[in-house]
Amino acid sequence: MKDKRNKKVMVIIISILIVLILLLALTYAYFTTELFGSEEIVKVGTLDLVLDETSEGISLDNAIGISDSEGLSLDGSTFELRNNGNKAIDYTIYLDDNTISDTDTRIDDMYLKYNLIKNGESDGAYLLTTIGSNPNRILDAGTIEGGETNKYNLKLWITDEVDGNYSGQVFSGKLRVEVSQDKPEGVDVLLAKANDPSNNDYNNSSVEEQKEMYVFNHSETYQTEALTDYRYIGSNPNNYVIFNDEVWRIIGVFPVVNAKGKTENRIKIIRDESIGGYSWDNKDISTGAENNNGKNDWTDARLMKLLNGGYENEEVGGSLYYNRGSGTCYSGSNNGTVSCDFSENGLSDEAKSMISKVVWYLGGKDSRTTSNTGEDDYILERGNQVTSNRPLSWLGEVGLIYIGDYSFTFANGVSDTCYNTVVSCNSSESSNSWLYKGYRMTLTHRQYTYTDVFMIDGNGTMRFSSVSNTIGVQPTLYLNSNIKITSGDGSSESPYRLAV
């Protein structure tokens, strides 16, 4: 039996009004039919119901009833059903009664005939009663494959086959499409809200249909091929999501490599607030560092071991955040520690089931004084310039943002200074980034040093810091590629909700 646990019936209604007005005179009757919509396109998931606004509806002077041949010759009104995704969708199109005035009388379906042309094929002329009664009049039903479009033409007329007194009576209806499909994957939901690559003028209010994520095409780097990712930029985009029963933010959608070497688009998220201040690393010479100020090797960093699973045997900090534990964590220089408790805000079992283990790139950046754009930082972070004996990448679950992630939030005119030279970003401009949260550590290390990494300071300026410094930590991770968005619109009032 087909598994329907992830099935949900979704309904889209486009206000398409079909109005028949009948006025009798002594020698003739006047009859009009109009089809129009208050929305040109109504969307649900990857499905669009599109009304052709060029359609002029049906308007004619004629006898009270007309023959089938005359009805079939009417122009009719057109609409389309489009599947913009890559998965087949089951659908049913209904013709429902619409609300009419209290002073109007609804004409009986027995007096009406219809003709529906689908993709150029006519199904003939039939009484409206043959497709059921309101609200179960089924115009069409079936499966529409991914990438396909069904084109329809609907005609309605009063039949000359039935006698009756229907003077001044009204028919008003609307199209309803019910869709039964697997909930779309979260990646698909977000990508449906991404701007066209040509639409990159964030501040231009005249740009029509501004959407939510922006497209960034990246050139080949030392570690990656040419890739395209999708990012949220600006001060407060609709990128709120509930994860781990907390508010997190979506950085964007990125093509990343998993543990099996497969590249797939995944949603990258960051906890909206810090889990507290801890050291990136604070080893000294006696515990494995090149000097007493810590070691900027993320694959062996004490913060990495705090955030990720598999380090439960560590006496201090090992996997405490990952396992909702409590104890002591590393903070301050020379192996310093503080008490820490993640029993309330550590990762739940449900949250851990949603995280993807992927490749994180560990290329270094040379100096805070170098003028690098967000794209320059992206290339360096995926490059091969690292401190001696430092690895180029790491396979893991929970990390931190890159400097490039922060820089890109200022792209497309939000703040040219912060995007082009993060070192020159100031407090008045940093508020243009939703990622700005004051002092925060990043994953990007300072090459040619053994102890420095880059951070964002209280003014939103990029600077380097010793890994032993106590800085706010915002866990960052990639979700599994099959994670679904079950509800919400991404706003702070209605964050996205996730499900496996």
Alpha-carbon distance 458 to 73, whole Å?
72
Structural domain including 67 reads 7-182
Alpha-carbon distance 287 to 44, whole Å?
56
Domain presence at residue 1 = no
Contact 168, 135 (CB under 8 A): no
Q: Read off the tokens for 259.
A: 């543990």
SS3 of 454, please? strand
Domain presence at residue 2 = no
The verdict on 247 and 142 lying in the same domain is no
Q: In the prediction, which pLDDT does 247 show?
A: 97
The verdict on 178 and 191 lying in the same domain is no
The verdict on 16 and 33 lying in the same domain is yes
Alpha-carbon distance 374 to 408, whole Å?
5
The verdict on 217 and 328 lying in the same domain is yes
> Which among 181, 7, 13 is positioned nearest to 83, based on CA atoms?
181
Domain presence at residue 47 = yes
The verdict on 165 and 286 lying in the same domain is no
Q: In the prediction, which pLDDT does 116 show?
A: 94
Domain presence at residue 155 = yes
Alpha-carbon distance 233 to 414, whole Å?
8
Q: Which amino acid is at 257?
A: V
The verdict on 192 and 113 lying in the same domain is no
> Which among 139, 141, 142 is positioned nearest to 153, based on CA atoms?
139
User: Where is the domain boundary, 162, 182, 202?
Assistant: 182
The verdict on 260 and 275 lying in the same domain is yes
Q: Which amino acid is at 171?
A: F
User: Where is the domain boundary, 137, 163, 182?
Assistant: 182
Domain presence at residue 432 = yes
Sign of the torsion angle spanned by Cα atoms 467, 470, 472, 476: positive
The verdict on 128 and 211 lying in the same domain is no
Alpha-carbon distance 18 to 77, whole Å?
10
DSSP labels, 178-245 = EEEEEPPBHHHHHHTTBPPTT---TT-TTSTT--SBEEEEE---SSS-SEEEEE--SSS-S-EEEETT
Domain presence at residue 65 = yes
Domain presence at residue 228 = yes
- Quick count: other Cβ atoms within 10 Å of Cβ 412? 20
Instruction: Give alpha helix (H) positions in 27-184.
Output: 68-72
Contact 445, 452 (CB under 8 A): yes
Contact 126, 114 (CB under 8 A): yes
The verdict on 448 and 475 lying in the same domain is yes
Count of structural domains within the chain: 2
Alpha-carbon distance 395 to 62, whole Å?
75
The verdict on 331 and 456 lying in the same domain is yes
Domain presence at residue 169 = yes
Contact 237, 492 (CB under 8 A): no
pLDDT means over runs of 10, the chain (500 residues): 39 41 31 40 64 43 69 85 80 83 84 92 90 89 88 87 71 76 78 77 50 88 94 90 97 93 94 95 93 93 96 95 96 93 95 95 76 83 89 96 89 62 68 87 90 86 87 95 89 91
User: Where is the domain boundary, 182, 198, 214?
Assistant: 182
The verdict on 247 and 275 lying in the same domain is yes
The verdict on 160 and 210 lying in the same domain is no
